């Protein structure tokens, strides 16, 4: 049983760590870890696939070797798409223990459970029973899953597996009524069952931290000194039953802002909720690609396309069709990334996209608008 009172409200997500020369900047992460721990927060969330497998090793160097093991919570995940047989469960798990330099994980998740191959793989390889076995062995303290599927599947899984102790879902105000993400409905299902909720993507991959000037102005009118990101975090933190809110922080400035938000947490007022509703209404009028830059799509892309970065350029073109800056950004991008027009439409990216984006069609649009035609 999870002691909700002992859990920190702000969790440090380790999927967007600062890099230097293509490698994780460990000195920078050291400073971020120290600032986070100093304020009394201690939940760290990594995964086997983050940063091409280097996130787990980074947390060993920046946290595990520098702080007593009992002073922090460490969470990581088992990826269905990296398994071809049941023997891969222990192979990956043992590698994770070694990478992280620990004897056990406080929280362990089946990664990105959703309809189709991922869920079928977890069922086929009996991963729920295996997870509980690891818990009995003392190598996992709490067992759960991260979820990107439909409300119907969530209820089905919870009915079949009452042993699950927590669920991690994407939740933010922009996706509350999103017909593909289902933030609101998933939260209501979990809350009605008194299931502890871990929130991922509360700022939607940075999208809600970098709003259009008009939308940010609406927030500034009420709280002139508050960042747009703080509004998104407070939205998630104002919901009952939310155990921890993960933020994939990339620099010390983001860390400082988030710590300020949670040091003396203030739930949203009714007036602030109304303003957020209006911001969402206006956001939905802007046809932007809701990519969160999780980068699952990048691993295994045969054309080497940095898809989230292409989408960033395409979104800017959509918003500012007369601005030449997105083209300049894109030209620099393709010096180290495949062009959008290099896409072979294999569909690998679409199969792993948590947002269920039609990436193949979007690559065609990007190629038409950004690639120089011969």
Q: What percentage of the chain exceeds 90 in pLDDT?
A: 79
First vs last Cα of the chain: how many Å apart?
A: 62
What is the per-residue pLDDT for 325? 64
Q: Across residues 48-59, what is the average pLDDT?
A: 96
Q: What is the CA radius of gyration of the chain?
A: 20
What is the per-residue pLDDT for 121? 96
What is the per-residue pLDDT for 59? 98
Listed in sequence order, the residues at least 6 apart from 227 whose beta carbon sits closer than 8 Å to its beta carbon are 209, 257, 261
What is the per-residue pLDDT for 44? 98
What is the per-residue pLDDT for 178? 80
What is the per-residue pLDDT for 367? 93
Listed in sequence order, the residues at least 6 apart from 63 whose beta carbon sits closer than 8 Å to its beta carbon are 33, 44, 72, 74
What is the per-residue pLDDT for 133? 98
Q: What is the pLDDT of residues 283-303, one digit of tens each?
A: 877 778 989 889 999 988 999
What is the per-residue pLDDT for 321? 67
CA neighbor of 13 nearest in space, from 351, 310, 254: 254
CB 317 within 8 A of CB 370: yes
Q: What is the pLDDT of residues 79-111, one digit of tens each?
A: 999 999 999 999 999 999 999 999 999 999 999
- DSSP assignment string, 70-86: GG-EEEEEEEGGG-SST
The C-alpha atoms of residue 282 and residue 184 are separated, in whole angstroms, by: 19
Neighbours of 171 (CB within 10 A): 27
pTM: predicted TM-score of the whole model, two decimal places: 0.83
Q: What percentage of the chain exceeds 70 in pLDDT?
A: 97
Where is pLDDT greater, at 327 or 279?
279
The backbone torsions φ and ψ at residue 105, rounded to the nearest 5 degrees and listed phi first, read -115, 135
Lowest mean pLDDT among 41-50, 120-129, 186-195, 330-339: 330-339
Structure tokens that stand for 70 in this block: 């009992």
What is the per-residue pLDDT for 374? 38
Lowest mean pLDDT among 57-66, 68-77, 81-90, 283-292: 283-292
Where is pLDDT greater, at 277 or 5?
277
The torsion angle over the Cα atoms of residues 78, 50, 186 and 124, rounded to 10 degrees, is: -20
Q: Across residues 196-216, what is the average pLDDT?
A: 91
CB 31 within 8 A of CB 252: yes
Q: Judge whether residue 269 has pLDDT over 50.
A: yes
Neighbours of 191 (CB within 10 A): 15
Q: Coil, strand, or helix at residue 152?
A: helix
What is the per-residue pLDDT for 322? 62
What is the per-residue pLDDT for 373? 43
Q: Across residues 51-72, what is the average pLDDT?
A: 97
CB 359 within 8 A of CB 350: yes
Q: Across residues 179-207, what is the average pLDDT?
A: 93
**Mean pLDDT rounded to a whole number for the chain:** 93
């Amino acid at each position: 049983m999870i002691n909700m009172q002992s859990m920190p409200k702000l969790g440090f997500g380790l999927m967007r760590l600062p890099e230097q020369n293509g490698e994780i900047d460990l000195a920078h992460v050291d400073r971020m870890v120290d600032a986070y721990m100093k304020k009394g927060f201690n939940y760290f969330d990594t995964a086997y696939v983050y940063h091409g497998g280097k996130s787990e090793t980074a947390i060993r160097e920046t946290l595990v070797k520098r702080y007593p093991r009992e002073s922090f919570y460490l969470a990581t995940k088992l990826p269905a798409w990296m398994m071809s047989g049941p023997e891969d469960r222990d192979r990956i798990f043992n590698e994770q223990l070694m990478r992280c330099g620990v004897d056990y994980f406080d929280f362990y998740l089946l990664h990105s459970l959703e309809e189709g191959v991922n869920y079928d793989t977890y069922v086929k390889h009996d991963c729920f029973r295996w997870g509980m076995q690891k818990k009995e062995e003392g190598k996992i303290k709490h067992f759960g899953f991260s979820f990107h599927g439909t409300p119907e599947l969530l209820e089905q899984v919870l009915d079949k597996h009452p042993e699950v102790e927590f669920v991690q879902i994407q939740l933010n105000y922009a996706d509350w009524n999103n017909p593909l993400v289902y933030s609101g409905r998933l939260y209501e299902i979990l809350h009605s069952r008194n299931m502890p909720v871990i929130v991922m993507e509360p700022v939607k991959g940075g999208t809600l931290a970098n709003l259009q000037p008009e939308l940010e102005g609406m927030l500034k009118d009420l709280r002139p000194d508050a960042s747009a990101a703080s509004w998104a975090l407070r939205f998630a933190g104002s919901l009952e039953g939310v155990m921890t809110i993960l933020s994939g922080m990339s620099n010390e400035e983001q860390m400082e802002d988030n710590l300020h938000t949670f040091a003396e947490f203030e739930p949203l007022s009714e007036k602030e909720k109304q303003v957020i509703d209006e911001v969402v209404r206006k956001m939905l009028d802007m046809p932007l690609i809701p990519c969160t830059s999780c980068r699952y799509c990048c691993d295994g892309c045969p054309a080497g396309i940095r898809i989230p970065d292409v989408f960033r350029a395409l979104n800017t073109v959509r918003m500012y069709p007369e601005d030449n800056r997105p083209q300049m950004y894109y030209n620099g991008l393709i010096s180290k990334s495949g062009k959008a027009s290099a896409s072979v439409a294999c569909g690998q990216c679409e199969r792993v996209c948590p947002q269920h984006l039609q990436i193949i069609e979007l690559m065609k649009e990007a190629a038409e608008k950004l690639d120089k035609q011969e």
